[in-house]
């Protein structure tokens, strides 16, 4: 298992590829019986990925010049986070992880683990002490993935898309 040959901030020229990766992942999730990210298949993007790219919040992970995965990192909570995390967002301590996506051609090779290690080591704003993320509570594989990486389940929240598990990890102990 080699390290990523390159991690870059996505630019506007990557928008179409990023959206294609997200939609293909949503299609794969649907084929596995998961409703996670189904809104992307309807052309809805609750995280406004193109704008996040323009703000420099999307990172691409490259192996052999091919995109192995992507992640969105926010130093300020977006509307989704405010809804999910409520008053907890007032602490200003967190980086919020969204749209962690592994290209299916790289699945089963530890790419997701290595991406999250990179996130923990390279959180853009060094004064952040916590990483927060959420996932569908019904996605047992993803919940187990985050728990195995040492993320603590700190609660659940419901919105129009379903019931979500909320996870945190303190960076103070790393």
Report the pLDDT value the prediction gives residue 2, as an integer from 0 to 100. Answer: 42
Q: Does the domain at residues 6-129 carry the CATH identifier 1.10.10.60?
A: no
**Phi, psi dihedral angles at 109 (to 5 degrees):** -115, 15
| Adjacency order of strands within the sheet including 130-136 | 6-9, 58-63, 66-74, 94-102, 130-136, 162-170, 152-159
Q: Provide the β-strand partners of residue 58.
A: 72
- Report the SS3 class of residue 143: helix
Q: Provide the β-strand partners of residue 153.
A: 167
Taking the C-alpha atoms of 47, 41, 59 and 66 in order, what is their torsion angle to the nearest 10 degrees?
A: 180
Report the pLDDT value the prediction gives residue 174, as an integer from 0 to 100. Answer: 55
Report the pLDDT value the prediction gives residue 1, as an integer from 0 to 100. Answer: 38
Report the pLDDT value the prediction gives residue 167, as an integer from 0 to 100. Answer: 98
Residues of the chain below pLDDT 70: 1-5, 124-126, 173-174
Where along the chain do its domains lie?
6-129
């Amino acid at each position: 298992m080699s390290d990523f040959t390159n991690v870059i901030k996505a630019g506007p020229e990557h928008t179409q590829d990023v959206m294609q990766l997200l939609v293909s992942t949503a299609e794969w999730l649907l084929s596995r019986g998961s409703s996670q990210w189904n809104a992307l298949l309807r052309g809805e993007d609750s995280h406004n990925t193109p704008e996040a790219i323009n703000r420099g919040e999307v990172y691409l992970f490259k192996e052999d010049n091919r995109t192995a995965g992507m992640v969105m990192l926010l130093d300020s909570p977006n509307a989704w986070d405010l809804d999910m995390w409520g008053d907890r967002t007032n602490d200003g301590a967190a980086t919020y992880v969204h749209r962690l996506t592994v290209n299916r051609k790289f699945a089963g090779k530890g790419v997701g683990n290595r991406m999250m290690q990179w996130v923990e080591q390279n959180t853009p704003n060094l004064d952040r002490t916590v990483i927060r993320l959420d996932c569908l509570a019904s996605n047992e594989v993803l919940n187990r993935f985050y728990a195995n990486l040492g993320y603590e389940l700190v609660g659940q929240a419901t919105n129009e898309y379903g019931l979500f598990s909320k996870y945190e990890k303190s960076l103070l102990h790393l």
